[in-house]
Amino acid sequence: MSEATENAVRWERLTAPELRSLAERDALVVLPVASLEQHGPHLPVWTDSMIGHACCLRAAEKAADLPTVVLPPMWQGMSEHHLPYGGTITLDYATFRAVLACVCRSIKAQGFRKLFLVNSHGGNIDPLAVAARELCLEFDMPVVATTVFHVAGPKLGALLDTQPGVQHACEAETSFWLALDPGQVRQDKVAGALSDPSTTRSGPFQRFWSFAERAPGTGVMGDPRAATAEKGMKLLEVVSDALAEAMRDPVLWRAPHAVWKGAE
């Protein structure tokens, strides 16, 4: 992305009058929703925030025919399952939902009418799905949520050699770093980053599992040894293609039905 293009879509690089102009043009606001949490011995705790923000910026560039603005990443996610390894800051659900509501309230007060929540952290998937549905009705505007690991479907998994999709501090997430900022990868720690086999259970059961249980030893799920910068660039492209397509989808951005009208 050129510097001029990046400056035109990054909320934090725009002035207040420029943002008011975007609101008048019915611009789509994009919020990367991420986390600050352990990513094994070889990746920074900023991993999810970096990946989500990079995918959103690239998608906004591809959808340059639309007025779009990308907020800085929401780096506080629901990450209590990573606390045993350190390096983690987490919200609870009530606060997580409240922060999202404050973002909705803030942008709507300034004239924006559409919000795209682009998640890049596994622990946010379920709570974000619930929050997006609630906020859509609460603020009477389309609030759409997706996750970068899922939005591209099987195209993402087809780029990986050792796993079917994104896991944690894995082949995929390490590849993103190698493509975008390779100096952040502690290469001397990659070989020793594999975890012991998981002790969790699959199937129709829900309970809390910490990552000390799910990925004992290092907090890594997947094999970062297979990561390459080339894979990282391909992952960025397929994810940003899918996000740009969603940005253009008129069905996603039509007004929600006022199902509670008359109930007050």
Is residue 237 in some structural domain?
yes
- Given a cut of 80, whether residue 128 has pLDDT beyond it is yes
Amino acid of residue 195? S
Please answer whether residues 76 and 84 qualify as being in contact, where contact means their C-beta atoms are separated by less than 8 angstroms.
no
Is residue 3 in some structural domain?
no
Is residue 261 in some structural domain?
no
Is residue 171 in some structural domain?
yes
Q: To the nearest whole number, what is the mean pLDDT of the chain?
A: 95
Residue 1 pLDDT grade (very low, low, confident, very high; cuts 50, 70, 90): low
Specify the pTM. 0.96
Q: What is the CATH number of the domain that holds 126?
A: 3.40.50.10310
Residue in this structure with the two tokens 């990573």, named with its chain if needed: 82
Is residue 61 in some structural domain?
yes
12-44 pLDDT, tens digit per residue, is: 999 999 999 999 999 999 999 999 999 999 999
- Given a cut of 70, whether residue 9 has pLDDT beyond it is yes
155-203 pLDDT, tens digit per residue, is: 999 999 999 999 999 999 999 999 999 999 999 999 999 998 667 777 8
* Domains contained in the chain, number: 1
Is residue 254 in some structural domain?
no
Is residue 228 in some structural domain?
yes
Range of the domain at 96: 8-247
